[in-house]
Amino acid sequence: MNRRDFLKNTVKGIAGIALPLAAFEFVNPRELFATKDDNAKVRWGFLVDTYKCVGCGLCVKACKLENEIPYDANVSRTWVERYVITKDGKKYADSPKAARDGFTTGKIDLGEGKFQEIRNEDIEKAFFVPKLCNQCENPPCVQVCPVGATYQAADGVVLVDRTWCIGCGYCIMGCPYGVRFFHPKYLTAEKCNFCYHRISKGLKTACVQACPFGARQIGNLKDPSDPVTKIIMTERVGILKEEYGTKPQVFYVGLDREVK
């Protein structure tokens, strides 16, 4: 299933359904950091501020160029979803070309060449949500890989060794977030790795560096003085699909309850 089909199914699932507030829980930071009792000095965490994202797509462009993902291929390590909720309660979500070129039209891409035009006066609210690999504390993709090609580093980042990957696709099926795909050139399992070749040298990820609005940040969750850690500890942040128990290390400021 490609990302467009994934989003299409997501829209079908959320259309006409209002998730009760009780089902949307924010992260308890003290419980979160109480579990980080290993000896590693670094645990990378990612922070997304949905209030700051404008859907420009510069992060997606930068990621593709940095990580050798074919520019025109309909796959990407990171993407941005647009959510539109109309006054009559209908919900729409799309991410054309992973939002590589931003959102240049008000028409919602429904896939298969179909579009839904929504008038501005009919919109109750609209927002953008960047997504990427959640670098789970308990990564199901690592658990299901039969050859160890997907593994977790000491600092928590889940990596993929292309030389070991046999292309079985178990990790793609096992990921509850839909972030994994087959690389069009190498035909191996692919996903975001927080630009490990950059952060291990003290650099920012390509997407963080490219974002002109500060909607993306990466930091060391083991460092209480790190700006990312401070925000997680002092502000209301959420994670995606908490019910799966994977303990994502990507945290969201302003995560709306309609987001899946």
Is residue 175 within 8 Å of 241, Cβ to Cβ? no
Give the residue extent of every domain in the chain.
44-136+192-253, 140-190
**Which CATH number is correct for 140-190, 3.10.290.10, 3.30.70.20, 3.40.50.300, 3.40.50.1110?**
3.30.70.20
Alpha-carbon span 170 to 94, nearest angstrom = 26
> pLDDT 10s digit of each residue in the chain, 260 long?
444 443 444 433 333 333 333 334 566 665 665 555 567 899 999 999 999 999 999 999 999 999 999 999 999 999 999 999 999 999 999 999 999 999 988 899 998 889 999 999 999 999 999 999 999 999 999 999 999 999 999 999 999 999 999 999 999 999 999 999 999 999 999 999 999 999 999 999 999 999 999 999 999 999 999 999 999 999 999 999 999 999 999 999 999 888 87
Alpha-carbon span 112 to 202, nearest angstrom = 42
What class is the 44-136+192-253 domain?
alpha beta
The phi and psi torsions of 214 (rounded to 5 degrees) equal: 70, 25
For 150, the 3-state DSSP assignment is strand
Same fold, 44-136+192-253 and 140-190: yes
Is residue 99 within 8 Å of 80, Cβ to Cβ? yes
